[in-house]
Structure 1
């Protein structure tokens, strides 16, 4: 999900701890480095039960087993994914109450080697039922330290919830209870434990029939209604993931079924969905997957039928008076794709740009990662006053952004393109690779941000942070997309490792750097590995792990395997994914002086002679005069005597290979590599000309360097660098204030 405010403003293996979903004890829990210590309810162990994943599980360090999640998909299997679950849902929208009544048949397969007598369901919509939920509890703490989205006040009648009715197994009513896998408040009701009437044998399946009632909230975040617009997401009971040994660091079977946290998103098994949606006749309906024929009349309603296999979620939109725009796309290895944009009349100008960005994304992601395997893409433009419904992703279905005006060369044009590409890109990183957004958000949000920026870079797209008014006066500050990421990445004092989970974070602002700091780190890794090598590595990552839920360690192993450069990959992961290092190298000193003859005595051919200071100065002057006559066009700071130049460099943070470039008065250049772990180093040159400047990272490859102002020194005063970066910051602020004016 794209957090708009963040765009401008700014580790542990999940062990097989025997944590019970029952019996809560109030204790002090030690959080990962960089997080606060707070009183939370910690599940107590119960022997013989399949445990939960750790409440503080984060970036995995151990690569998954070769056969994890059924092994790599070759394309020869009967289905694209190893389908674990299927949902058959009948849903009816009440347009006045913004509520959905549903009947659901859920079939789940037990992949483990043991019988399972208890399963767990997510009731995500209960995050919005009261301020006692984990979502709102964390919102009060984290938003106080960094703002963010999803902060709207909930007024009377605007809460959302999901009421679970009957749950049956072969006609037998089942008992269920609310549990707290992450030790959240007892008032949180986003996870349910269901006691089965009969265990599911190893390799066997169970079918559960259930009824539910979902009340949509006034749009708070990710889901909800505004007026006649209904974004129906996280709306049905959804089974958790039973992970097996060798999958994402697990050493024994465990239930990965986290509560709905304020900053987290989702994780689920692949499966198939067969959904019938009843909505008023004058409503436009769009959803995940393929529409099956024309909708069927049912009184004043229409019944829409959508199906989709090999996805792990289902969301839909129903809106009165909306319009649609359609086209088709096809690329090598992909089926013909129907692309639809659903939009309100007030944002008609947004429809064509969203369509173009969507089809361009299909081309780019298919070429650089792998063919798009589905037959549909649906993009929804939310209405005015429902911006929190924008910038959200589901398989084959996403919501974009919306702007009153989308003129070429404006910040609005860039932002609409960026958000559309970003949300489509989730279809690969969140959708097809299906990483765990609870525990490893950088694998989705961060890597997707990086790949989106690569696409924008290939398009030659710049970020125009100045307004037309400023450009009329000649003030133009187009910024590269990665330069913008760098400026918003909080490189000086990162609070949390990139690989940290979603909720053990200092603040919403600190979480926001998952996007920008990951993109910046991957940019720098690409500079070290090479663009082509990096692209081959990500193609291999996708080919090996799509439909299989990879971990950070799996990404790291693939990058090493393809590039052969373990040192560069491990360095980025150790410093940034698993750590909170900073890079700040500087030119500490630059001295360049003539090497002149010296007065005193010397012995030549056995005879000692003496040169006085006066005679020595005279000879120096004579030699200089003669040289000037012989070289009338010589450049300043060149002459008959050589110059000794010393450059002192200093590390204020983590080690990273740096190029040092020294430029001399005669136009010559010396390049050297500083690639060791010394805190400081001194380099000396004896050249026929005086040094003009010394510069670190002259080709601007290291965006992780927190302070670029100290990368350059000149022998003579030169304020170009400070003026350059000051203008970038000023342009950033101008863009921020311009954005505020549109909110």
Structure 2
């Protein structure tokens, strides 16, 4: 055989294999490629020896399913095990320094990822949401005016495929960072991006900021955004939801901090090493969407467990109105939430859950393995104990709807907040014998089909199409009531089975409304007139 023909033949076989892999189908010619000799492979030109990833054809959770109803629909049983994704994940290796004297955090990042789309990427989109605190009117946080916010300093961006230095520009939306690749990243091709950064922690009582000696360090490192439908997601910062839209990754993180600070983070602590007045902590956080931490010299940690999950309830000793009763109640709520949601939605798949009672001016905020609950809501002069209890339940519910099953919180907020608000109702039903169902839900008897609520719909629209003044009522409350109405129509056991199957099919990926309704219609069919009526009323499909 002519040598040039032999090389072309091998190249074509490899190309077919890569295309098959990137389309997430079983590679039709992989066996043919594997039979080629090493000598033949070495004859390939250098430019074809890129580092590629092979993705599985089915990325759903491979767990037993059982029949639900009589139309052939199957779903996992209650309490099914949610396990690590069966594919290669992105990986962040971060060596950080937390400096409370200068209110900064920074360091070196080694980020390994791959192109999981069918398009070549000639640029990357990173998000620097912390930069938005330079524009207090957009952030909309009380006390943000005059804070010390600054753009994150990003340096030494390097594409390690050829050790090429890269440049970046900020968009008009300063949280959007575009990094141009000198060599496009092909479908399924892997690369490592290295960079250094220094982020300023804003002096605001918010989800990303420091206030009353408590640091919430959440939007601090440039994180890769999500690529979907031919473009990078770069929606604006918004106040009422999580702004990060990212892929699940593994994190290996080292943080050097003053030894008199207590750090609470995503993931689990692996080791610590003291040197003088500093301590270097090593953490491992597998298959999560982000890595965040909270820190304070005044933290008090109340520990507990739910089965083999360790729980930390953390608060500042300087917050005088946080009583032992509230702390014990919060720990109990965390245990109850893990029990209820693990049973109804699938078992919590991580080793730890942290609940931080922090002086933020919001109800709460969710992050992987860590939730923040507002200390002001626990002021006994403002709310009865049931208020902060449901806030804690809600934020822990996000570990399933945001953490395990991701979504585009800006363009499809109902998949994030309506489902999680509905999980509050599931919590009430699970503990009906203890707390009651309807007694704990002041909106239980609201008729969502009343014409008065028509302006709330369609529910499936982007954040910017809602009125800011009614967004919370529309998405959190009325979205929850729509889902409760669906539950009433098809049955609670059937609807929780739908949610488990939705989790099974989409765990550790980013789902959209098509994924949700596909599962719902697989369960109920498309000819249920009562169900169709509520869906037609509440959604624009």
TM range (shorter): 0.7 to 0.9
* C-alpha displacement of 1:463: 9.8
Partners of 1:459 and 1:130 in 2: how far apart? 44
Paired residue for 1:289, among 267, 270, 273?
Answer: 267
Residues 473-488 of structure 1 correspond to what in structure 2 (within 5 A)? 480-483=441-444
Q: 1:568 to 1:276 in 2, by over 3 A?
A: farther
Partners of 2:174 and 2:56 in 1: how far apart? 31
Confirm or deny that 1:575 pairs with 2:534.
no
The answer to whether the 8 Å contact 1:68/1:548 transfers is: no
Partners of 1:568 and 1:156 in 2: how far apart? 54
Partners of 2:121 and 2:378 in 1: how far apart? 55
Paired residue for 1:380, among 356, 371, 374?
Answer: 356
Q: Over aligned residues, Cα RMSD in angstroms?
A: 2.9
Residues 404-419 of structure 1 correspond to what in structure 2 (within 5 A)? 411-419=383-391
Q: Which residue does 2:146 correspond to in 1?
A: 156
Residues 11-410 of structure 1 correspond to what in structure 2 (within 5 A)? 70-74=58-62, 79-80=84-85, 82-131=87-136, 136-137=137-138, 150-170=140-160, 171-179=163-171, 186=172, 188-219=173-204, 221-243=206-228, 250=229, 253-265=230-242, 266-293=244-271, 295-330=272-307, 336-345=308-317, 346=320, 347-349=322-324, 350-383=326-359, 386-388=360-362, 391-402=364-375
Partners of 1:323 and 1:458 in 2: how far apart? 31
Partners of 1:404 and 1:444 in 2: how far apart? 22
Partners of 1:341 and 1:486 in 2: how far apart? 37
Partners of 2:508 and 2:206 in 1: how far apart? 27
* C-alpha displacement of 1:554: 1.7
The answer to whether the 8 Å contact 1:494/1:510 transfers is: no
Q: What secondary structure does 1:387 align onto?
A: coil
* C-alpha displacement of 1:166: 2.2
How many aligned positions are there? Answer: 459
Partners of 1:81 and 1:365 in 2: how far apart? 23
* C-alpha displacement of 1:375: 0.8
The answer to whether the 8 Å contact 2:133/2:144 transfers is: no
Partners of 1:298 and 1:566 in 2: how far apart? 67
Cα deviation code 1:55-96 (max 9, x no counterpart): xxxxxxxxxxxx999531216999426444211112211112
Partners of 1:405 and 1:261 in 2: how far apart? 25
* C-alpha displacement of 1:220: 5.0
The answer to whether the 8 Å contact 2:84/2:287 transfers is: yes
The answer to whether the 8 Å contact 1:85/1:109 transfers is: yes
* C-alpha displacement of 1:406: 7.9
Partners of 1:215 and 1:486 in 2: how far apart? 47
Cα deviation code 1:309-350 (max 9, x no counterpart): 1111111001112111112222xxxxx211111112232432
Partners of 2:389 and 2:225 in 1: how far apart? 34
The answer to whether the 8 Å contact 1:83/1:271 transfers is: no
Q: 1:311 to 1:81 in 2, by over 3 A?
A: farther
Partners of 1:491 and 1:281 in 2: how far apart? 57
Cα deviation code 1:11-38 (max 9, x no counterpart): xxxxxxxxxxxxxxxxxxxxxxxxxxxx
Partners of 1:163 and 1:363 in 2: how far apart? 43
The answer to whether the 8 Å contact 2:377/2:383 transfers is: no
Higher radius of gyration, 1 or 2: 1
TM-score by length of 2: 0.78
Q: What secondary structure does 1:381 align onto?
A: strand
* Deviates further, 410-419 or 99-108: 410-419
* Deviates further, 537-546 or 370-379: 537-546
Q: What secondary structure does 1:156 align onto?
A: coil
Residues 506-655 of structure 1 correspond to what in structure 2 (within 5 A)? 506-564=467-525, 566-578=528-540
The answer to whether the 8 Å contact 2:126/2:223 transfers is: yes
Stretches of structure 2 lacking an aligned partner (at least 5 in a row): 1-54, 65-81
TM-score by length of 1: 0.58
Q: What secondary structure does 1:438 align onto?
A: coil
Q: What secondary structure does 1:427 align onto?
A: coil
* C-alpha displacement of 1:242: 2.0
Partners of 2:266 and 2:377 in 1: how far apart? 27
Q: Which residue does 1:703 correspond to in 2?
A: none
Cα deviation code 1:416-442 (max 9, x no counterpart): 210111000000001001122121110
* C-alpha displacement of 1:372: 1.1
The answer to whether the 8 Å contact 1:69/1:548 transfers is: no
Partners of 1:262 and 1:387 in 2: how far apart? 12
* C-alpha displacement of 1:284: 1.0
Stretches of structure 1 lacking an aligned partner (at least 5 in a row): 1-66, 140-149, 180-185, 244-249, 331-335, 465-476, 580-743
Q: Which residue does 1:656 correspond to in 2?
A: none
Cα deviation code 1:266-293 (max 9, x no counterpart): 3111111111112211111000011102
* C-alpha displacement of 1:404: 8.3
* C-alpha displacement of 1:189: 0.8
Cα deviation code 1:608-640 (max 9, x no counterpart): xxxxxxxxxxxxxxxxxxxxxxxxxxxxxxxxx
The answer to whether the 8 Å contact 1:406/1:413 transfers is: no
The answer to whether the 8 Å contact 1:70/1:82 transfers is: no
Q: 1:126 to 1:405 in 2, by over 3 A?
A: closer
* C-alpha displacement of 1:111: 1.6
Cα deviation code 1:622-666 (max 9, x no counterpart): xxxxxxxxxxxxxxxxxxxxxxxxxxxxxxxxxxxxxxxxxxxxx
The answer to whether the 8 Å contact 1:326/1:339 transfers is: yes
Q: What secondary structure does 1:430 align onto?
A: coil
